[in-house]
Chain A
């Protein structure tokens, strides 16, 4: 136990508390920076094992490939921080791509406006059911996964149409680079920075953390719990749709079948990045590390050549399992 006055710190009690505090600090470091440490290790291993790994070309490639899941994972981080989950992001991602490609017919505004509106509407429906009707997030968004995938099929004539991007400005945003960095990477980083600031320095961000930390206490403290929960699902919907439209701009077409399983890699990245699935604690920087970690693993698997994408699935699934086990055990040790 901690003494109220530091002057009374000679007792054995407070010594024990110092040890406990030190342990807490270790736990907290592992939770917050575990992904970054593993990422650094992997990068070292990869650059030793594969001479092509550290080439600018490969690094740019990894960065660009990561920018789309990163944007999705940013929205997912907000949802998970409130203690919720959003399983619909993969379908929304596909819808964003298809709508973006269709919208690009009327210029760059259409490329992004149409998907964002769709993301807001889908997020608002899901958020409303979770926040105001009190339904379980996983079942609401699982239904969303199905329904939005249906919507994608509906607008693409059962998936047989793949709308192409003809708008030159859209193509530049999707494929252009400045100083060797893709615009999509820049956009993702800007969103990440905005998210970091909002989370740490806005009242809304603090409310998100508070609700995930203890919903009942947040309610008693007079925070607008339902409204905040509603908003995070809207944010997640918008992020997924925007990422989808950027992906379409990148690949010059809105492919109706993309994004299957994206929810899993987004959740994995968030959790690997140290965000507690029960909510209340986590960071977007950790999410960035988680996304990059998965991308580097993917890249290494590709470099080996003889390995396949199923190895990726096994590794990321296993990784997720190990991380949640560690989290659960750590959280339990802290409670005692």
Chain B
């Protein structure tokens, strides 16, 4: 577990007592261990990065620190004495404030009202004293270099400013620690600068910052120390200055730079490159804050990986291709014919289908049977005069349940009773029943067990061999590398680089993800 390299740092913050600590915190959900013996500490005035890929336990740890969850084992320590946060309000009262990715304020109310909601200044007869409140709000915001009309409704402000208001509210409630969860995900560059200068002011006031972000540049700009989590454990604690980007990425992904040249660990076979004319051509896919001029070509029979850390624009690219996301500009064409953008039915008609990332909220219809879920999209094709034909359905359902080896007691079983892996296969079957040309897979193996994972991977190979064009998004490096013939690497919504041929390996991918420009592991 974490050694304590703190003592070696010649910084005043390192000598000071931690303001907030987690000691040996363990958290389990329904038997699954999300956090395992976590030691974590922040000191006054310190800016501490909390890093880790999806499922590493970052959000669970934040929820424990803010009182949303209670640890099963271990304890929280505030300024040296143990504390218990039974609910978020307890943590807030003690001095732990949180800035969420989404602005959690009331859009219709004014800036000042939002800052003082629940603790408005009152006059002698107990009524809210607005002039006092506005003056206080103005003073508070000015402290952080923010000059806005505090009477304006929050909604009328840019997201960055809203985020700043959330921050002002947080720190004005006697904050000792401010936890920032992806605070810049919807900010523009200039707004990010303002945020960072505010962070500077807060640190000078002795407030500790816990900073969660996937943007490497930001982490190195604003943080001095880092704790890296992986699979619910702390894998590294130390100064950022001593940690090259490449190594940080390796730590997060659990692939040590030295031994990435191992044998395959997935069920993927040999990948093939194709020189057939592309079936799908997308150009200049752009949407404010999310995508910036992404272009790609996919050929039949080829699996193309989309690489990138969380928030790089992988899912967004898939959503743009599938017509789920409205675009500011950009075109998608299948077999040379342009597809109307922003329309799911149009994309499906053109042969583009997407397996969404969030199976539960975007994929399965929980109350329906396996059969109904499989034929959902294809239903009109399997029906005559609006009447669904059980015979036609059974034919399709039977084929796919057998081919994908979907384990259900019968096609009539409710899909919500199946395991995650089988639900995922049902989702794949739904799309294969449409005879697509392009299959977009967003995290196809997330949250399913090892056996099902191998089956899905083998299936992807098989489908490509049959001539389907596949785009694969996965946060597992080996899956992308071993499954794809080419990998397009995204960063901050742009295409950073493309790996082809022999370059499709973990070394090159890690280097591209770290984005330090070298492209070469050291």
Contacts and interface: CB of A to CB of B under 8 A. Distances in A.
To the question of whether A and B form a pair in one complex, the answer is yes
Nearest to A216: B104
Contacts of B107: 213-214
Nearest to A209: B109
Interface in B168-183: 169
Contacts of A1: 158, 160, 188
B106 A222 contact: no
A197 B109 contact: no
Given A203-B118, A203-B120, A223-B118, A213 B127 contact: no
A214 B88 contact: no
Contact of B148 (A4, A197, A209): A4
A217 interface: yes
Contacts of B146: 4
A319 B117 CA distance: 35
B190 interface: yes
For the side of the interface on B, what is the size category?
A: 20 to 34
B497 to A, nearest CB: 30
Nearest to A334: B155
Contacts of B160: 1, 4
Interface string B95-133: 000001000111111000100011010100011101000
A2 B128 contact: no
A24 B118 contact: no
B156 A24 contact: yes
B147 interface: yes
A334 to B, nearest CB: 7
Contacts of A334: 155
Given A1-B188, A4-B146, A4-B164, A209 B108 contact: yes
Interface in A269-285: 280-281
Interface in A201-215: 201-203, 206-207, 209-210, 213-214
A169 B104 CA distance: 53
Interface residues of A, number: 30
Nearest to A223: B118
Contact of A223 (B117, B128, B158, B188): B117
B141 to A, nearest CB: 10
B127 A210 contact: no
A223 B194 CA distance: 29
Given A209-B106, A209-B108, A280-B108, A4 B118 contact: no
Contact of B108 (A5, A203, A281): A281
A221 interface: yes
A21 B106 contact: no
A3 B157 CA distance: 9
A6 interface: yes
A214 B88 CA distance: 17
Contacts, number: 83
Contacts of A2: 148, 156-158, 161
A206 B108 contact: no
Contact of A5 (B147, B155, B188): B147
Nearest to A281: B108
B70 interface: no
A212 to B, nearest CB: 8
Nearest to B146: A4
Interface of chain A, main secondary structure: helix
Interface string A263-300: 00000000000000000110000000000000000000
B127 A206 contact: no
B487 to A, nearest CB: 34
Interface in A165-208: 197, 200-203, 206-207
A139 B126 CA distance: 36
B92 A222 contact: yes
A218 interface: yes
A221 B104 contact: yes
Contacts of A218: 106, 117
Contacts of B169: 221
Interface string B377-404: 0000000000000000000000000000
Contact of A206 (B104, B113, B126, B191): B113
B231 to A, nearest CB: 28
A24 B190 CA distance: 25
A220 B99 CA distance: 11
Contact of A210 (B117, B130, B190): B117
12 contacts: A1-B158, A2-B158, A4-B147, A201-B128, A202-B127, A206-B117, A206-B128, A209-B108, A217-B104, A220-B88, A221-B117, A334-B155
Give 8 nearest A-B pairs by CB, closest first. Answer: A213-B106, A201-B127, A1-B158, A222-B89, A217-B104, A2-B158, A201-B128, A213-B108
Given A1-B160, A207-B117, 6 more contacts: A203-B120, A213-B108, A217-B105, A220-B100, A223-B117, A280-B106
Interface of B: 88-89, 92, 100, 104-109, 113, 117-118, 120, 122, 126-128, 130, 146-148, 155-158, 160-161, 164, 169, 188, 190-191, 194
